[in-house]
Structure 1
Amino acid sequence: MENQTVPESDIAIAESLRQRGLRVTAARHAILKWLSSHPHASADQVHQGVVEQLGTLSKQAVYDVLSASVEAELVRQIKPSGHPARFERRRGDNHHHLVCTHCGRVEDTDCKHGHAPCLTPNDAQGFVIHEAEILFWGVCSRCRANTETRPDKA
């Protein structure tokens, strides 16, 4: 099942920026709004999506807004090995990610155990653990279906 998202309201986005001490600019607003309905997007995907709305915006501006948004805890960045960093607005809960090894698709999955952190190390070595970041790797349903219907499959 794919994650269904509802875009945040313009007022909620502006308020979240102000609460974090950031000015409400057209670029920040557009990027956060776009991400609210396009989770797990790469910086290039964000740039392409926002340029369609604003008309013009440099890639560097997108990287700067994403970086500031991650630092301000408005956006979560995930870095699946071998794939570009992905960004999402879903924060503050205990969810993990499923990553397709064929197409790179990323989907949310809620933690089975509820409260963060859902895993603890054998020896925390004095650390107080706040979060466990988990990536599940596999083949998504679309890639499996494409493989099963290809006439040249082995």
Structure 2
Amino acid sequence: MEQRAAGLLRAKGLRSTAQRRAVLSALDGHPHSTAAELESRIGVAAEASPAAGSLSRQGLYNVLDDLARARLIRCIEPAGSPTRYELRVGDNHHHLVCRSCGRIEDVDCTVGHAPCLTPENDRGFAVDEAEIIWWGVCASCRPARG
């Protein structure tokens, strides 16, 4: 993933720093990660040394912001949950969230191309994406809820 991350960064016109590559690598295989989960996966330092390639908490948030603005990662913000990050971008997929355990699953858009839904009145916006979150109780939690 390290080489793929470097290529993705360069393709978006961003410098391929160790910190950016580390965040992209930490998200690989771990969709819907929170910043706290990324911190533990990367080993964020209290006081980082950029020269040594380490990353501070503030540095992590800066990298996440840079990657999101470049559309290399996607942020989702389910109500009552911290912001989550994923590598799956540009395909207009949606999410299922379990009200009990917080599990999040991707749901492919099944209606045409992005955006798969359009507002009745777009008020002059050029809509290019729709974001939907379905809430419910996952199969694992249903028996426990009775």
The answer to whether TM tops 0.5 is yes
Aligned to 2:34: 42
Gaps of 5+ in 1: 1-8, 149-154
1:1-154 pair list within 5 angstroms: 9-51=1-43, 57-147=55-145
Gaps of 5+ in 2: 45-51
Whole-angstrom distance in 1 between the partners of 2:143 and 2:22: 35
Letter in 1 for 2:123: Q
Q: Normalization by structure 1: what TM-score?
A: 0.83
CA RMSD after TM alignment:
1.9
Q: Normalization by structure 2: what TM-score?
A: 0.87
Q: Name the SS for the 1:136 alignment partner.
A: strand
Q: State the 4+ residue runs in structure 1 displaced beyond 6 angstroms.
A: none
Q: Name the SS for the 1:74 alignment partner.
A: coil
8 Å CA contact 2:12–2:70 kept in 1: the answer is yes
Q: Name the SS for the 2:95 alignment partner.
A: strand
Q: Name the SS for the 1:108 alignment partner.
A: strand
Identity %: 50
Letter in 1 for 2:8: S
